[in-house]
Structure 1
Amino acid sequence: MRLAATGIEVLDVELARISPEQNPRDFLRFLEAGAELGARHVITQLPDPDRVRKIDRFAQLCELARPLGLTVDLEFPSWTETPDLREAVRVLRGADQPNAGILVDLLHFARSGSSVADLRQLPTEWFHFVHVCDAPAGVPATNEGLIHTARFERLFPGEGGIDVHGILAALPPGLPYALEIPRATLVAQVGGKEHARLAIATARGVLDRATLERAAQ
């Protein structure tokens, strides 16, 4: 079955991870495929310790994506060389591209120690969507532990220690919420379809309550 026949829209594609050894043009076919699927955004990560080089390559990726109607949204996992909001901001300011953005993944934001106050000060046009999830309050002591939680054991919103409402309230209103909640243990117990249903139902309940509470203030 073709995607168009399902009625499902593609919000974003991932991942353009630009290491020191890679050229942004390596991702051109990936960008073109995303555009063909109707995506509006592409997620990138910059695991490169050379700030000048990673800014230049981020700018190049933005230039490749712009004719395709794609924004390039920089994600900042805490175990990479672009580990927090402040470093992501340095990249965007240095690249100075009209289709550049920052992707706030609630797990990465919380684990990196990034500041909600800093988030509120940034241009609203930098934000195109947000990855929503929760996670245990305890932060793993190793990169391996951080990566395992991020890829296999996130929690539904409201179940963990992340300030879900506080972070979302600091972002521009009306952003699409993309649920990124891989949870291998639960999937093994109930199956992928039920996991997806629970994720949507739980997130909708938590986020709807937060919206009503803000409206009442």
Structure 2
Amino acid sequence: MHKYSMAHLTGNGADPITATEAAAKAGYDMVSYRFLPAGPGDTPPPLLEDDKLFAETLAAMKANGLGIIDVEMMRLAQGTDLQHFKPLMERAAQLGATSIVTAIDDTDRARAIDAYCRLCEMAEPYGIAAELEFMPWTGCKTIRDALEFMDATTSKSAAILFDTLHFDRCGSTLDDISAIPADKINYVQLCDALADYDKSDEGLIYVARQARLIPGRGDIDFAPIMKRLPKDVPISIEIPDKPLVEEMGLDAFLRATLEETKALVDRIEAEA
């Protein structure tokens, strides 16, 4: 049976306490938080530096019976000091998270692979995986790119974060999904999207961060994807859509994200 996590972006700007309580109310099993910016120029989230907020967030998780798989995020650019991520790893371990979303901004493949391998070694003592997310506008664009990183290290902390949106738009194939070793998939991210979209980097980033759809409301064919993923893999639902939240209210929106995703996954698996 799948467990379901509410991704940070699905909170659509809610503070950590509100997001935690709303996730539990909607029926989610787990929740996720962002500790470092997702992109250049983004405002640093307060959780890393604010000890009081961190303690209150941890208490809210426990009070609401929520678990956690991942936190966000580590970005590897040219010259990134890996020690910058140590406080994040410590916070993640304190929460009980076992994965940190990781992105590659460095376009020099050899240098990026070296940095990722060292990052994995750094994460191992914390029991945390550096979840490498392939995204078509980054230095790790496809599943095959991500597998190249995996082949370069024997670290237990090396893993691939599979996201249905990025898979739909990066040119990878269903056979590529099958090529990912099962032990390199700790969880997956699900959302839907339209078949007609802006293929520029700016357009891809806009949809990824602001305009994803609830599974079943777009054009992604989930059945062949789910059949190639590990059985009972935990599912993180990632759906940033502030206009819909404003229309429905956060509680109703979160219920819809979870109920509709569960229904779609259950239907696919019943027909398999």
* Structure 1 contact 23–57 (Cα < 8 Å) conserved: no
User: Aligned partners of 1:181 and 1:165: how far apart in 2?
Assistant: 19
The structure 1 residue matched to 2:206, chosen from 135, 148, 164, is 148
Answer yes or no: is 1:72 the counterpart of 2:130: yes
1:1-217 to 2 correspondences below 5 Å: 1=56, 2=59, 3-214=61-272
Instruction: Check the 8 A contact 2:131/2:159 in 1, yes or no.
Output: yes
Closer, same or farther: CA 51–96 of 1 in aligned 2, 3 Å: farther
* Separation of aligned partners in 2, 1:57 and 1:95: 11
Corresponding pairs, count: 214
Q: TM-score, normalised by structure 1?
A: 0.94
Shift of 1:145: 1.1
How far off is 1:141 after superposition?
Answer: 2.6
Q: Is the 8 A contact 2:124 2:155 kept in 1?
A: no
Separation (CA, whole Å) in 1 of partners of 2:81 and 2:232: 34
Task: Report percent identity of matched pairs.
Answer: 36
CA distance in 2 between counterparts of 1:73 and 1:83 reads 14
Displacement of 1:18: 1.1
Q: Which amino acid is the alignment partner of residue 51 of structure 1?
A: R
> Which structure has the higher relative contact order (CA within 8 Å, separation 6+)?
2
Alignment gaps of 5+ in structure 1:
none
Range that drifts further, 161-170 or 127-136: 161-170
- Cα RMSD between the aligned structures? 1.2
